[in-house]
Amino acid sequence: MISLSDLKEEAKYMSRWEQHRFLFMVTGVIVVSLILVAISMNLYNNNGTAQVDLSRPGYQAVRDQVSRSDNIESFSSTGELDEDAFKKFEKLYAERSDMVLDVAGFGSAALSDDALQIFSETGATLIE
Amino acid sequence: MKKLSLVAITIVAAFAVLISPLAYAQEQQQPVYAELSDAQVELIRKNCLTVQVSLSRIHANDGLLRVNLAQQYNAIASKLMAPMDSRISLNKLDGLAMATTTVEFNKQIKVFTDTYQKYENTLSKSLTMRCGDQPIEFYDTVSLARSQRNQVNEEVKELNRLVRQYIEQYHAFKAGLKSNGGESQ
């Protein structure tokens, strides 16, 4: 059975590193985890993932309007190029292209001084 | 001791990797300060909180539009253009023009997402700024976001031009195939 006085006696011959190794280990683990979190946050923000993550705060109002991509029909890459294949491709292509060609884009007018009423003397009102 | 040095070097290298893109991004996005009168600065200070609420709505709507558009563009590229090019090739027919457009379209999707990322970063910065304390910086950040949004719009127009170009090339290919005596073997 090791008594407290034995432990104290043993500690006298230990280096500072040996005396505080548990504390060093805990600190080390925290430092490593902070570095890993910082690296992963950096990757998340800089590789474009953040821009498609609509679970972030601020996107609650529009989250349910995301179109689902898993039900988009694919054109088969094998087979003959006959009239049926052409018709099928034209139908699928028209469906998809209509969804992008008819969309109003990212015009700069929405961020103009007038639209934002940034210089309004009567006070800006919210854009609906 | 050697092990400790190795750990220290690894930590420093990790931080260097971590910080370099941020420094680069900040360097790239330095706004040019606009010349504003004292009265205009005061108006910005007075209106900026309401403007930030409007910007947050634009931010949310743009995020949704970006996700939906990118989804459709990726579907067009991977589920329609690439399979059609592959099928033309398997049938030993000449679809080089269409395949070139597909490659160009894929590159343009990447340009669009990169440009949008820069715009989103700037817009997010304008939302988190203490605009009452920094009205000029706030105005310049909004101005920068405006020009970047315009750039995103140009990238969308280019993508749409390629969508149209592909279907035109497809019709020309189809017409050529029919005039050359029917369809594939």
What ipTM is given for this predicted complex?
0.75
> Token pair for residue A13?
């011959």
Sequence letter at residue B170: Y
Give CA angle at B9 (B4, B14), nearest 5°: 125
Residues A83 and B152: their CA atoms lie apart, in Å, by 38
Q: How far is B138 from chain A (nearest CA, A)?
A: 11
**Nearest by Cα to B51 from B131, B121, B116:** B131
Chain A segment 18-47 residues within 8 A of B by beta carbon are 31, 35, 38-39, 42, 46
- What CA–CA distance (Å, rounded) separates A45 from A53? 10
Residue type at position B19: I
Confidence of residue B26 (pLDDT cuts 50, 70, 90): very low
Band the pLDDT of B37: cuts 50, 70, 90. Answer: confident
pLDDT at position A18 is 82
- Please choose, from the candidates B140, B128, B152, B126, the residue with its C-alpha nearest in 3D space to the C-alpha of residue B34: B140
**Residue B185 is encoded by which pair of tokens?**
């073997």
Distance from the A4 Cα atom to the nearest Cα atom in chain B, whole angstroms: 32
Please name which of A107, A59, A110 lies closest in space to residue B54, comparing C-alpha atoms: A110
Give the per-residue pLDDT at A55: 84
Q: Binning pLDDT at 50, 70 and 90, where does residue A46 land?
A: confident
Over range B86-107, report the average pLDDT: 94
pTM: 0.77
> B70 or A10: whose pLDDT is higher?
B70
**Length of chain A (residues):** 128
A18's enclosing H/E stretch is helix A16-19
